[in-house]
Amino acid sequence: MKKWKANWKKILIVLILILLLVFGILMYGKVSELTNQLAYLQDTTNIILSDVGGMQSSIEKTLEEEASMVEDYSIEVKDMDFARHEYKVEVSVIPKEYTDNTTMSIYFGTTECPLKADGYMFKGNITLPLNKTFNGNVTFLLANGKKKTTEVVEDFDGVSGKFDQVLSGTLDGTPALKDGKLSLKGKCTYTLDNVAMYHFKSFEIAASLDGEEIWTQDLMQNLLEEKQESSKDDKDLVTTEQAVEENSEGSIVDSGSGTVTCRMVYEKPQQQKEDVEQTQAQEGQTPSRKQLRIYLRAVTTEGYRFETDLLREDAMEEENKWSLDKESIDTKMYRSVYDRKDQELTID
């Protein structure tokens, strides 16, 4: 009898454990189901919130467009004069509603530019200072009789502060001089940015000696070739990100960045004996110094030229022999931009 009671207790314990296990499995299934439902509910909520946010943005944009008095407009830089430190812009605007009595003006700060009616458009030109920004301070004024309406232009802030963003780079390596030959082999990293204003028709790295150009290497072709090859091979030697436009005159680059190997070799022409004697007599045997510049150069389709120095170093010449002054090396970026009259505006 005692033995049966002991077995019964064991059987009861086993049954309880089995029931607990079954209950645990059932509860785990319920919890998993609830978790999945909660995750689905969360995803659904996120989608609904996203849709609501999109609808709100769309409604706000629609309300802004409906409230706007302008159907379309453009403010385009037409010319820059660096000697006068000014530039000209051309403004054109299409109002949503107008009559024969409608007049329009645009204000750059407090300077007014009256716009003349030209069909369904209003146009005008104005000259602005290079060093002034207009962010949030450009306003259209539309008048219909006594009723006047204004609208602020948000996307024009002038040209000040943009020139130094166009062209930058670094040079890994310095020139060497051996057996009368000047050479350079190094990596050049560059960034070309059109700052939403320019299209570039040429881009190169160059070197000059006392202002006389002695070497160039085309980088525009590198950009275009790498653009084509990048779709076939992800292991390019030069990585680029650029927008390229083809036209009837060739290729135009809007922007680009990458790294390229520079290879420069230059042998200075030998002077005639008479020239050497004359030079020595003039210099009194004092070594002459000439500045070696290595720089990036980009030219826009409009004819503006951007130059950024990557390295400056003095080359010394004595008795028709020359050497490099390594202590004079300067790797600071010096930026300049030239207008269509070749007038320079120093940025740095």
Say yes or no: 119 and 224 in one domain.
no
Say yes or no: 91 and 199 in one domain.
no
Number of C-beta neighbours around residue 147 at 10 A = 7
How many structural domains comprise the chain? 2
Is the model's pLDDT at 343 over the cut of 50?
Answer: yes
- Domain boundary among the residues 132, 153, 174 is at 153
CA 300 remoteness from chain centre = 14
Domain at 88, CATH number: 2.60.40
Per-residue pLDDT tens over the stretch 94-140: 998 888 889 999 999 999 999 999 988 999 999 999 988 888 889 99
Per-residue pLDDT tens over the stretch 146-170: 888 999 998 888 887 889 899 999 9
Rounded distance between C-alpha atoms, residue 208 and residue 204, angstroms: 13
Domain contains 27: no
**pLDDT of 347:** 80
Say yes or no: 137 and 215 in one domain.
no
Is the model's pLDDT at 57 over the cut of 70?
Answer: no
Is the model's pLDDT at 196 over the cut of 90?
Answer: no
Say yes or no: 226 and 299 in one domain.
yes
**pLDDT of 99:** 86
Rounded average pLDDT over 168-185: 91
Rounded distance between C-alpha atoms, residue 48 and residue 39, angstroms: 14
Rounded distance between C-alpha atoms, residue 114 and residue 106, angstroms: 6
Q: Determine contact, residues 187/258, Cβ cutoff 8 Å.
A: no
CA atoms within 13 A on the CB side of 113: 21
- Domain boundary among the residues 98, 121, 153 is at 153
Q: Would the pTM count as exceeding 0.85?
A: no
Say yes or no: 250 and 294 in one domain.
yes
- Domain boundary among the residues 120, 153, 186 is at 153
**Least confident interval from 20-29, 153-162, 166-175, 217-226:** 20-29
**pLDDT of 282:** 52
Q: Determine contact, residues 139/152, Cβ cutoff 8 Å.
A: yes
Number of C-beta neighbours around residue 104 at 10 A = 24
Per-residue pLDDT tens over the stretch 231-283: 455 444 444 444 444 444 458 888 888 899 999 999 877 655 555 555 555 55
Q: What's the maximum distance between 2 C-alpha atoms anywhere in the chain?
A: 136
The domain containing residue 95 runs over which residues?
70-153
Domain contains 52: no
Domain contains 221: yes
Distances (CA, A) of 24 to 16, 33, 35, 298: 12, 14, 16, 73
Average pLDDT along the chain:
81
